[in-house]
Amino acid sequence: MTSEVTMYAMEELRNQLLVRNPGNKILEKWHGDPCLPSPWEGLTCENSNNMMVITKLNLSSKSLQGPLPAAIANLTELEELDVQNNNFTGSIPKSFASLHHLSKLSIGCNQHLSSKLPPGLSRANLTIVSECRADRDHCPPESPPRSQNVYLISTVAGGSVAFTLVVGIFFTCFYRRARHPDERSFPIIKNAIFSESSTLDPHTSPVVQQFFLKYIENATCSYKTLIGEGGFGAVYRGTLPHGQDVAVKVRSATSTQGTREFDNEVNLLSTIRHENLVPLLGYCCENDQQILVYPFMSNGSLQDRLYGEAAKRKSLDWPTRLSIALGAARGLMYLHTFAGRCIIHRDVKSSNILLDDSMCGKVADFGFSKYAPQEGDSAASLEVRGTAGYLDPEYYSTQQLSTKSDVFSFGVVLLEIITGREPLNIHRPRNEWSLVEWAKVFIRESRIEEIVDPSIKGQYHSEAMWRVVEAALACTEPFSSYRPSMVDIVRELEDALIIENNASEYMRSIESMGGSNRFSVERKIFAQSSVPTEPSSTHCQIIAAPLPR
């Protein structure tokens, strides 16, 4: 039998809806027991402790209007609520916070219904669907529904002038449909950049939402707070309705990156997720605007902290630098060992390593990223991309892309972390223009104390520092076959961090007893460089990620 609470809740819900929706067809069908012998239209009932309860309520596309009924909160076992494509107004009732089992709330396409969540309803296990699929004809991956084209034709076919207009519209829409095949089975995303399609499992794949332009403008207060600029365009700070701070990248008209890079980032980040990669929350493609939305990284970029503008520059101690390097390395290792066909970032640099509240390093900006090239890839798909000072010289000269190109760039980042210097600076003496070439001279002569950032001198364990220095030197070998993999680098940095953390505890105990300064050690650069690694025919070494140690 159906529980009395459920029956009362549905009767109350029906009465509240009838106030503004008299004669509504679905409401006229709601009579008797809501679950037995068969559920009312729009309801899903399940047995709970020998009582029938409502777990899903689907009121989508029922031509309903008025405020969203507070009586829905009486359906205490409700797991999914869908009220999309109606004319509900006002805001989400505060009483919805009592729906503790609610895991999905779909409210899109209610023009005058606020998407702001009441206190208590913002929680990690609740998925909010606020996009309006009916209005997504302006942007790939979806094309205009055929019904809209028919509607246009039928409504303007009144005269000869109108007929001419209809013909023009018809051919325009037909052309658009030919260029953009129907793809309404989202989340199947056509991956034009990677020349393949990927069907995403909604239970395991990241959820990347498509936002309205108005939604973005509200979140950023009409782009009020500028926090940075890059090759894609300006970056603004914003806040989503449920309170999450975000960084909003808006492509500028003069951007050095185009639609290809925009699509690339959306497609790639719709398939991958890792704690050391900055996730994509959503995007907007409306009125010729291309916008990407990410979580706001409160501590800026690694570049800002090391040698950025004075206002952003803050001293990083050696253990923190080492931890950031390890986080970024793990992110790259995840890309390089990804599910059968590795991903190459192609623009690894300190400004693309962002720092969250906990100073955890996360790799960002995947506009240039690619799957490792395979036989038959076009020359255009293998064009050289990257940033001066970080670019792998072998990749630049041969245009042969591999994961070792990322390894070289990461080696430059390690040198930045060690020295606190930018990778390229023509305002320094000629022999110091290139960070890599300048540092190698001192490293090979075992004079690393002379290149270490003055702000951390005397604050590091020599063994840990040497391990990072050796890793940086190996990464920046001119020939890719001599470079280690990111798996090797992660292991080396893990060891260095263990040494540094244990040394810090040991030194604190020594200093508390009036002990001496840290010791220095003489090291020979490890002989790994004399034996090249076996080149990979697929430009990518697929290596299993190391087990936790």
Among 263, 347, 365, 392, the active-site one is: 347
- The distance from CA 174 to its chain's CA centroid, rounded to whole angstroms, is 34
Question: pTM of the full predicted structure?
Answer: 0.60
pLDDT of residue 525: 45
CATH domain 4-130 topology: 3.80.10
CA angle in degrees (0–180, nearest 5) for 381-383-389: 140
Backbone torsions φ then ψ of 287, nearest 5 degrees: 55, 45
> Are 282 and 211 spatial neighbours (Cβ–Cβ below 8 Å)?
yes
Q: What is the DSSP letter of 134?
A: G
- The distance from CA 387 to its chain's CA centroid, rounded to whole angstroms, is 21
Separation between Cα atoms, residue 71 and residue 68, nearest integer Å: 9
Q: 3-class DSSP state for residue 313?
A: coil
Structural tokens at position 467 = 């391990």
Q: What is the DSSP letter of 163?
A: H
Q: Does domain 313-530 have CATH number 2.70.240.10?
A: no
**Amino acid at position 155, single letter:** T
Structural tokens at position 541 = 């070494």
Instruction: Give DSSP secondary structure letters for 448-503.
Output: GGGTS-GGGTTSS-HHHHHHHHHHHHHHT-SSGGGSPPHHHHHHHHHHHHHHHHHH
Structural tokens at position 96 = 């919805």
Q: List the strands of the sheet with 112-113, edge to edge.
A: 65-67, 87-90, 112-113
Question: Can you say which residues are annotated as belonging to the binding site?
Answer: 249
Separation between Cα atoms, residue 283 and residue 197, nearest integer Å: 19
**Whether 347 is catalytic:** yes
- Whole-angstrom CA distances from 537 to 400, 401, 480, 541 are 11, 11, 13, 9
Separation between Cα atoms, residue 284 and residue 287, nearest integer Å: 10
Cα Rg, the chain, nearest whole Å: 29
Domain with CATH 3.80.10.10 in the chain: 4-130
Separation between Cα atoms, residue 319 and residue 499, nearest integer Å: 10
Instruction: Give DSSP secondary structure letters for 384-399.
Output: ----TTT--HHHHHH-
Question: Can you say which residues are annotated as belonging to the binding site for ATP?
Answer: 249
Helix (H) or strand (E) holding 239: strand 233-239
- Whole-angstrom CA distances from 43 to 22, 35, 60, 78 are 20, 8, 12, 10
pLDDT of residue 255: 65
- The distance from CA 185 to its chain's CA centroid, rounded to whole angstroms, is 22
Separation between Cα atoms, residue 130 and residue 101, nearest integer Å: 19
Classify domain 188-295 at the CATH superfamily level.
Answer: Phosphorylase Kinase; domain 1 (3.30.200.20)
Crossing angle for the helix pair 486-512 and 318-336, nearest 10 degrees? 160
Domain with CATH 3.30.200.20 in the chain: 188-295
Separation between Cα atoms, residue 247 and residue 355, nearest integer Å: 13
Per-residue pLDDT of the chain (549 residues; tens, 9 = 90+): 787 788 888 988 988 998 888 888 889 889 888 998 888 999 999 988 888 899 999 998 898 999 999 999 999 899 999 999 898 999 999 888 889 889 999 998 888 888 888 877 777 778 888 776 433 333 334 344 444 443 433 443 444 444 444 445 444 444 443 334 333 322 323 332 333 333 334 334 567 888 999 999 999 999 999 998 877 889 999 998 888 999 999 987 766 566 777 888 888 888 888 999 999 999 998 888 899 999 999 999 999 999 977 766 778 999 999 999 999 999 999 999 987 678 999 999 999 999 999 999 999 998 888 887 765 555 444 578 889 999 999 998 988 889 999 999 999 999 999 999 999 999 999 999 999 999 999 999 999 999 999 999 988 999 999 999 999 999 999 999 999 999 999 999 999 999 998 875 656 665 666 554 443 334 444 444 444 554 444 455 434 444 444
- Helix, strand, coil distribution of the chain in percent, nearest 5: 40, 15, 45
Separation between Cα atoms, residue 252 and residue 222, nearest integer Å: 15
> Are 248 and 103 spatial neighbours (Cβ–Cβ below 8 Å)?
no
How many distinct helices (H) and strands (E) make up the chain?
A: 13, 20
Domain with CATH 1.10.510.10 in the chain: 313-530
Q: What is the DSSP letter of 301?
A: B
Among 404, 405, 472, which Cα is nearest to 442's? 472
Separation between Cα atoms, residue 39 and residue 399, nearest integer Å: 63
- The distance from CA 285 to its chain's CA centroid, rounded to whole angstroms, is 16
- Whole-angstrom CA distances from 291 to 69, 74, 134 are 34, 39, 20
Structural tokens at position 369 = 């990223």
Separation between Cα atoms, residue 10 and residue 135, nearest integer Å: 32
> Are 376 and 343 spatial neighbours (Cβ–Cβ below 8 Å)?
no
Separation between Cα atoms, residue 534 and residue 371, nearest integer Å: 20
> Are 349 and 413 spatial neighbours (Cβ–Cβ below 8 Å)?
yes
- The distance from CA 184 to its chain's CA centroid, rounded to whole angstroms, is 22
Among 466, 484, 462, 449, which Cα is nearest to 524's? 466
HSE, CB side, 13 Å, CA atoms: give it for residue 97. Answer: 11
Non-local (6+) Cβ contacts of 311 within 8 A are: none
- The distance from CA 244 to its chain's CA centroid, rounded to whole angstroms, is 14
